[in-house]
Amino acid sequence: MDLLLLSRLQFAATTVFHFFFVPITIGMVFLIAIFETMYVRTGDDHYKRITKFFGHLFLINFAVGVVTGILQEFQFGMNWSEYSSFVGDVFGPSLAVEALLAFYLESTFIGIWIFSWEKINKKLHAMCIWLVSIGTMLSAFWILSANSFMQRPVGFKIVENSVIGKKAEMIDFWAIATNSYLWNQFPHVIFTSLTVGAFVIAGIAAWKINRKHEIAMFRKAFKVSIVAALIGSAGLLWTGHSQMQYLVREYPMKVAAAEALYEDSEDPAPFTVLASINEKQQETKPLIEVPGLLSFLSYDKFEGSLKGMKTLQKELDEKYYPVVGEHLNYIPEVTLIFYTFRMMSGSGALLFIIALLGTIYAFRKTEVQKSWYLKMLPWTILIAEVATASGWIMAEMGRQPFIIFGIMPTSAGVSPISAEAVLFSLIVFCALYTILGIAQFVLFRYMMKKKESSVKEVA
């Protein structure tokens, strides 16, 4: 058994599973805040009931997300102790700010919001859920600031420690907070969250409408959420395009791997939709191509070439050999990154089309008549989750062979423990995650049925 491989698999399992819940939390609470604001402004009792209905579902998701987040932090100390020792002084402040400011903000006001219905002024009550929403976004920001340091380390110096040897020490907190990688990643995550949260609400509303459960109320929920899904998916595509161009400039190996470019590309560079990839022979045979599209995605014009992985391997080895003291393979797992990139971008485009179609139906007031669309919409929740998971896999796998890019190889960050111990904890974590996932699904179904009215309305 390979200790490093098992440790990476455990990191992947905990991160991806935790991130199933994070965008739902951020996106749902933002829309719940909008629903309650509409209730305060209009006095329409439907919006109050919508707020309470989806508020119950949000609380279930929030609770499961907190548990998965705690498990994720445990595995840093368990499997990545060398990394934690090296980067703790840099990584720690971001996590501390997230816990002491953002998470406490969420937890405090979510408690007030739950228990103060009809007990405080409506505007103050709505303000509580807005503060929860702001807290979730701040949490995302500070967690991403830590992740962005792993992608683009800034604001630190390496010092000698008498106990653990070399370690990173923060010298500029502002540089970490203004990291260019962070400010390319954060808007993309927020629009992703809005998209996922909106499709969760729209999918559930469609499920209720299709079963003729309180149609008047859930049509209002559907209209607001499907418009939010359209805005979110459009922003998702826009920020994704911006992030692609940033990677072309700063991390060309990620882009080359995402396109399976072993050799330098043509000018203009075609976008490969489907390819046969031989990683051992370092060859790619394009099966379906779109002429010039890769150049446009990279430079906003139909001209320009990109460096291939063979060229970049030589450049990166020359650049980082003096730092790490060894020759590394800088070419990541090409096939996995190639197809996760297509799953991510393809899912994003599909979500935009579905949201656009739903928005048209909503404003024409014909969504009730589109039974096929209402039946299909709940499945878009899975499409949205596939898109988010694919994005994280590409981002983290594309950083290899570094756990801190250009500074610390992944192999140097793993804990000095047995592979058997990591395998055991991996099995336990996956079992716990499976139980939590099933529990959330069962609770969602229970709450959805519990809140159904016994009276069916006529559209």
Q: Is residue 128 within 8 Å of residue 113, measured between CB atoms?
A: yes
Q: How does 268-283 read in b/e, with b if 16+ C-beta sit within 10 Å?
A: bbbbbeebebeeeebe
Q: Identify the DSSP state of 377.
A: G
The per-residue pLDDT for 164 is: 60
Question: DSSP per residue over 147-184, as a string?
Answer: HHHHHS--SEEEEEETTTEEEEEES-HHHHHT-HHHHH
Q: Is residue 304 within 8 Å of residue 322, measured between CB atoms?
A: no
Find where tokens 């700010």 sit.
97
Find where tokens 């191509």 sit.
289
Helix (H) or strand (E) holding 408: strand 408-409
**Tens of pLDDT along the chain (459 residues)?**
788 888 888 888 888 888 888 899 899 999 999 999 999 999 888 999 999 999 888 888 888 887 777 777 777 778 888 888 888 888 878 877 877 776 777 778 888 888 888 888 888 989 999 999 998 898 889 888 888 888 888 888 888 765 566 788 888 888 888 999 999 999 999 999 999 999 999 999 998 888 888 888 888 999 999 999 999 999 999 998 898 889 988 888 988 898 888 888 888 888 888 888 888 888 888 888 888 888 888 888 888 888 889 899 998 888 888 877 788 888 888 889 999 999 888 899 999 999 999 999 999 888 888 889 999 999 998 898 888 888 888 888 888 888 888 888 888 888 888 888 888 888 888 888 888 888 888 888 777 776 444 333 333
What CA–CA distance (Å, rounded) separates 91 from 408? 14
The per-residue pLDDT for 202 is: 93
The per-residue pLDDT for 228 is: 95
What CA–CA distance (Å, rounded) separates 233 from 439? 29
The per-residue pLDDT for 450 is: 63
The per-residue pLDDT for 456 is: 38
Bridge partners of residue 290, in order along the sequence: 271
Two tokens, residue 403? 């756990």
pTM: 0.89
Residues in the chain: 459
Helix (H) or strand (E) holding 308: none
Two tokens, residue 421? 């111990």
What CA–CA distance (Å, rounded) separates 75 from 78? 5
What CA–CA distance (Å, rounded) separates 64 from 87? 28
The per-residue pLDDT for 453 is: 41
Two tokens, residue 73? 């932090």
> How many C-beta atoms surround the C-beta of residue 72 within 10 A?
18
